[in-house]
Every structure is written in structure tokens, then in C-alpha cells.
Amino acid sequence: MDRIVIVGAGQGGLQAAMSLRQDGFAGSITLIGGEAGLPYQRPPLSKAYLKTGDADALRLRPDTFFAKSDITLVSGVWVDRIDRVGKAVHAGDRSFAYDHLILATGTRNLRPTIPGLDRALDLRTLEDALRLRRVLDSPRRCAVIGGGFIGLEFAAVAAGLGHVVTVAEAAPRLMSRVVSPEMSDRFLTLHRDVGTTVHLESAVTQVTDTGIMLMDGTAIAADVTLLAAGVVPNTVLAQDAGLRVDNGIVVDDRLLTEDPAISALGDCAVFPDPTTGRPVRLESVQAATDHARLISRRLMGKSDDPYAAVPWFWSDQADAKLQIAGLATPQDEALTGDDGAVWRFAGDRLSAVETVNDARTHMQARKRLAGGPVDRTALVAARFDLLAV
Ligand code: FAD
């Protein structure tokens, strides 16, 4: 294998390029990204960057890195077609031949059909964050559509900067897809304590020149509206090339699509959860980077092990660092320990641990979950002491 092409120069695409070099790949690596400039990390876009405006701090590697590592970075170029028979990707009149192709195309904002939504701003790219920062340079009333991680992180920063913030969430609780009801309540209190108004069970029905309208007819006055209602995976390339797509590009437990010359990773990939086997798509730095490392090892013949990394995630909101180890479904049971950690259970099995400002328990949980299933009865008997089970 001489030529590896990676489409998507984000967190996972860059990691794949770096891992391939580290694992000894001597052929050509071409990393193609639609966004202009160097690959950067997105998590600070809704956190530190909104306060500091320091774009250089977001760069994952300096420009000298690419020449030094002999990685051809092609930025500002959107790939529009995969030719699986000819083994090449096309971007306008340019084409890039591959022996193996890695799809790392990430996600884009979900745009619900809300009249006037084009008045709302996004927070997905550095360009979006730059635009948001500019409008926050004087006191504003901000409305946020969506009480998930990104909307709430933005809300916390904006409230901290003295803006008047209102969050509208359609579900009955915050971050409902990913955290327990206990943790949703805790964060509801946190946001209300810093002065943010939160409306639950309040789908937004319209974005106007003066703010947003909620389904019960309430009008929220706002100068700035942020759309943070979730994302959709970028799968069009894969779908047009005849690859299987089902809420993401479908891959096996080695992150290979049904085409042995094409892998997919990160936010755009649906893979079998190593614990339950159910198809999952994760939107996290951890998944993107661990996927990339596994694909590199597989391509370099260093390991053919299936993907088995324990998922983990973090979110910074005001002075609270929420960390999640493992993967729970919304219906998993939740028990709160004496130290405030929330323990999630799928039947008798520990599925996830949610902590706030408690890095020690989070790290222990990641380590312990990597060691195999943790039994609920044993854990409760040990008063949630992970080192004892
Ligand atoms: P991305 O990093 O999104 O990269 C995909 C790239 O592919 C994009 O640059 C896109 O332009 C490019 N692309 C797509 N299609 C094409 C094409 N046809 N041709 C060329 N290029 C293409 N995760 C956490 O774990 N913790 C956090 O606190 C956290 N905070 C976040 C805050 C924000 C504001 C955002 C937006 C995300 C956050 N995330 C967080 C999620 C995390 O950034 C993603 O999970 C991670 O970036 C996924 O990496 P990826 O490589 O799969 O996709």
C-alpha cells in the first residue's frame, strides 16, 4: 500500500495521518479538508475561545509539522465524489488516487424546519465562533436553541461575560440524550444560578428580527440567536459512492466499511459498541482519536484487534467540569453516590459514571470499565468504591 488519502482534516483525520507516520507508514499521506487553514480543535470554540479569541491556541499542529512529517495537507478543498472502482477521490477538477481511503468527514449542524432560522448563528467551525465573538463585543440578549452540551457551554460563557441569556430546550430536561435526569437537574440549577433563563419542553417555533417564539406563544427578546439543536453526520460522499449509511457511515468492529479499501472514523462513523454490540455514533474527541489510532495500527499490520476503547467525554459549563466515562442510554438507571457521582446501570452492568469536578473518580471509572464489566451488586456493596470491585 503506497497511497493513503484522508477526507476531513479535523480531529480524527489529522490523528489518522499522525498515527500512520508514527506507526511507520512510508507511503504518501494526503489529508484533504474543506475548511481553510490548519486543522484545529473544536472543543474550545464553545469554551475558552469565546473568551480569549486566541485562534492560534486551537491549532492542533503548526504548519511546519506537515512538511516535517511528509503529510500533504490540502485545505480549503471539498471532496465531491469517491470513485471506488478507479480508487480516487475527486474535488472539482482535481483527483487524488488512493490505495486506502479514510473518511473523517465529521458532522454539520442539524437545521430543524423553523421559520426564520437563517437569522440564527451556528457554532461548529472556527469561522462560526469568530462571528459569534464579534456580536458579543457589546451587551446582548442571547437566545439559545437547544439545551445540549454546546448550547449550554455557550450559555455559560455568555452569562459569565455579562450577557442576558435564555435557553429554549424542546425536551423535558437538559442534555437528555446523554446524561441522567439527576445530572440534568444539577445543571439546570447551575445555569439558573448564574442568571440564565431556561425553558424546558419549549420547542422554538420561529426566529424573528426581535428574538424567538416558543411553542406556547411566549416571545423571547434577543439580539443574537444561537442554533445548537444537534448535528447530522456528513455522509453524502459515502452514500453517493454506494456505501452503507444509517445515521452515519456504517463500519465494522475494525472501523472498515463494506469496501475493504475504505475506513471511516469519528463523528461520521457508526460502529458496533464493544460492550453491547448495538450500533453507535459518538461525537467526541476521544472516539475520533481512538478510531484513528486503531485504523492506523490495522493498516500497518500491527494489530487486528477489534475496537474496544471505553468512551469518555467532558463538558465545561461555568465552574463545573462534567465528565462521563462509559456509555449509557437514556433509560439506564441512575444512582447517586455519597460523593455526588452518578452511576448508571444497564440491568446489572455499570454502563457509565458521571462526575462533576471529580477527575479522580472519572479516571478510576475509565480504568475500571476498560478492565471488563462491573457488577452492580458488588459495586453497591462496596459503596461505589471502584478500587474494591
Ligand atoms: P471534525 O473534527 O468535525 O472534522 C471533520 C472535518 O471534515 C471538518 O473540518 C469538515 O470540514 C471536513 N469535511 C467534511 N466533508 C468534507 C469533504 N467532502 N471534503 C473535505 N473535507 C470535508 N468533543 C469532546 O469530546 N468534548 C468537548 O468538550 C467538545 N466540545 C465541542 C464544542 C464544539 C463547539 C464543537 C463543534 C464540538 C465539540 N466536541 C467536543 C466534538 C468534537 O469536536 C468532535 O467530536 C470531533 O471534532 C470529531 O472529530 P472528527 O474528525 O470526526 O470531525
pLDDT in tens, 72-125: 999 999 999 999 999 999 999 999 999 999 999 999 999 999 999 999 999 999
Closest CA relative to residue 284, chosen from 326, 319, 249, 254: 326
Tell me, what's the pLDDT at 140?
93
Tell me, what's the pLDDT at 139?
83
235 CB under 6 A from ligand 1? no
The rounded mean pLDDT for the chain is 97
314 CB under 6 A from ligand 1? yes
Cα separation, 216 vs 202, in Å, equals: 7
102 CB under 6 A from ligand 1? no
Predicted confidence (pLDDT) at residue 338 exceeds the cutoff of 90: no
Cα separation, 374 vs 174, in Å, equals: 28
Domains and their CATH numbers in the chain: 3-108+231-299 (3.50.50.60), 111-227 (3.50.50.60), 319-388 (3.30.390.30)
The amino acid sitting at 320 is: A
pLDDT digits (tens, 9 = 90+) for 143-179: 999 999 999 999 999 999 999 999 999 999 999 999 9
Q: Which of 41, 60, 284, 322 best tests ligand 1's pocket when mutated (most atoms within 8 Å of CB)?
A: 284
Predicted confidence (pLDDT) at residue 369 exceeds the cutoff of 90: yes
Averaged pLDDT, 378-389: 92
DSSP secondary structure of 55-97:
SGGGBSS-HHHHHHTTEEEEES----EEETTTTEEEETTEEEE
Coil vs helix vs strand at 183: helix
What is the distance in A from the centroid of ligand 1 to the CA of 230? Answer: 13
Tell me, what's the pLDDT at 339?
87
Tell me, what's the pLDDT at 107?
98
pLDDT digits (tens, 9 = 90+) for 309-329: 999 999 999 999 999 999 999
C-alpha dihedral over 147, 148, 151, 157, to 10 degrees? Answer: 100
Asked whether the beta carbons of 143 and 220 are under 8 A apart, the reply is yes
317 CB under 6 A from ligand 1? no
313 CB under 6 A from ligand 1? yes
Cα separation, 195 vs 322, in Å, equals: 20
Beta bridge partners of 343: 335, 353
What is the distance in A from the centroid of ligand 1 to the CA of 36? Answer: 14
Predicted confidence (pLDDT) at residue 293 exceeds the cutoff of 90: yes
The amino acid sitting at 377 is: T
Coil vs helix vs strand at 156: helix
Strands (E) in 209-298, as ranges, are: 211-214, 219-221, 224-227, 231-233, 249-250, 262-264, 269-272, 279-280
List helix spans (H) across the chain: 11-22, 48-52, 63-68, 126-135, 149-160, 181-193, 236-240, 285-299, 359-370, 376-381
Tell me, what's the pLDDT at 231?
97
Averaged pLDDT, 286-295: 98
Closest CA relative to residue 51, chosen from 152, 129, 147, 149: 129
8 CB under 6 A from ligand 1? yes
79 CB under 6 A from ligand 1? yes
User: How large a percentage of the chain has pLDDT more than 70?
Assistant: 100
Q: How far apart are the first and last CA of the chain?
A: 45
User: How large a percentage of the chain has pLDDT more than 90?
Assistant: 98
Cα separation, 164 vs 55, in Å, equals: 25
Tell me, what's the pLDDT at 249?
99
152 CB under 6 A from ligand 1? no
Beta bridge partners of 313: 324
Tell me, what's the pLDDT at 4?
99
248 CB under 6 A from ligand 1? no
Atom of ligand 1 nearest to the CA of 231: 36
pLDDT digits (tens, 9 = 90+) for 178-209: 999 999 999 999 999 999 999 999 999 999 99
pTM as predicted: 0.97
